[in-house]
Amino acid sequence: MPETLLEIRDLAKSFPARGKGNAAVQAVADVRLTLKRGETLGLVGESGCGKSSLSRLILSLMEPDSGTVVIDGEDFLGASVQRKRLMRRRIQIVFQDALSSLNPRMTVGMNIAEPMRLQGLGSARERDGEARRLLDLVGLRASDAERYPHEFSGGQCQRIAIARALVLKPDIIVFDEAVSALDVSIRAQILRLILDLQTEFGLSYIFISHDLGVVRRICDRIAVMYLGRIVEIGPAQPVCEAPRHPYTEALLRAIPIADPRRMRVEELGLIQGDGFGSPKPEACAFEPRCPHRFAPCSVKRPTLIPVGDHHEAACFLNDRSQRKGDS
């Protein structure tokens, strides 16, 4: 059994409400996750589910209200300033908008080497050499180091951003919707690169996306988020093929399959409402949209309980004692 590399302990973050009378928005609530060495963990959810806030919390780009992140047994979020700066070498991030994730005033080479400079690593010559080596590794030319980000296409910029994420030789890379803005064929190129790099360097990934199809394709385990909470987590296959939370099921049934013999528009699953707003504090957040809701859903919040091998879901449908009470 591979060792646990990263552990997220009860992370929570709320934002003050906008406008009068609105309650604070609970962006991330009681999130507990682990990431094993060499593993890819997918984090899926629709807009507003808190997945991007979670990525910023994990990277310590945002202060959590409570909870922490532990890397290799060492508290990351609670570390001293100097220690945290060193620990940042182990976890890097790739963003959705590749072009704006690169400093427009620096050459591509400087952009890639910048994390080394910020960490005080290597001489200028060594950093430049490293940038050129990484450019070649991600499928661009070493000579591209002298050009500027705006001279490159979206897919190429994402390759550059990946090179920058690699420059500190991290153990973990967080991909925050890293392929969502790309065209189908370019997306496949980048996904292939991401997978090849993982094989070559034994990297561990947290892959955040709204696209369950992509996540299913490249992730070992999938966590599904709804309004700030993990509602289901487990190995990719059971989560996608035998989901145990009605929200996961609804997501899966709403995605069109690229095969007209398997799914036409009449067969797309429809659920009511949208995933915005503040849920009632003492109820299942998905209850207002859930087609299977029953008595306990509106009075208690379900917690994650085991529903299979390494598979957990937060739904009373899986809880025999609750169902008995209902009938």
Sites for other proteins among residues 228-257 (CB under 8 A): 236-237, 240, 250-257
197 interacts with other proteins by CB under 8 A: yes
Number of residues that bind other proteins (CB under 8 A): 96
Which candidate, 132, 155, 154, places its Cα nearest to that of 143?
132
First to last CA, the chain: 41
- How far is residue 115's CA from residue 194's CA, in Å, rounded to a whole number? 20
Q: Does 80 bind other proteins (CB under 8 A)?
A: no
The stretches of the chain forming alpha helices (DSSP H) are: 51-58, 81-87, 108-118, 124-137, 154-166, 184-201, 212-218, 236-241, 246-254, 320-326
* Cβ proximity to other proteins, 253 vs 323, nearer residue: 253
Q: Verify binding: residue 205, other proteins, rule CB under 8 A.
A: no
The H helix count followed by the E strand count for the chain is: 10, 12
User: Which residues 271-300 are close enough to bind other proteins by CB under 8 A?
Assistant: 271, 274-276
Residue 202 binding other proteins, by CB under 8 A = no
Q: How far is CA 10 from the centre of its chain?
A: 16
Choose which of 38, 97, 308, 323 interacts with other proteins (CB under 8 A): 97
Contact string 113-132 vs other proteins (x = CB under 8 A): -xx--xx-------------
Phi-psi region of 30 (alpha: psi -120 to 50; beta: other; left: phi over 0): left
Among residue numbers 171 through 190, which ones bind other proteins (CB under 8 A)?
A: 183-189
Q: What is the DSSP letter of 22?
A: P
Minimum distance between the CB of residue 144 and other proteins, rounded to whole angstroms?
A: 9
Report, in Å, the least distance between residue 325 CB and other proteins: 29
- Of 8-67, which residues contact other proteins (CB under 8 A)? 46-47, 56, 59-61
Q: What is the DSSP string of 219-259?
A: -SEEEEEETTEEEEEEEHHHHHHS--SHHHHHHHHHSPPS-
Minimum distance of other proteins from residue 114's CB (angstroms): 7
Of 5-13, 14-22, 137-145, 301-309, the window that binds other proteins (rule: CB under 8 A) is: 137-145
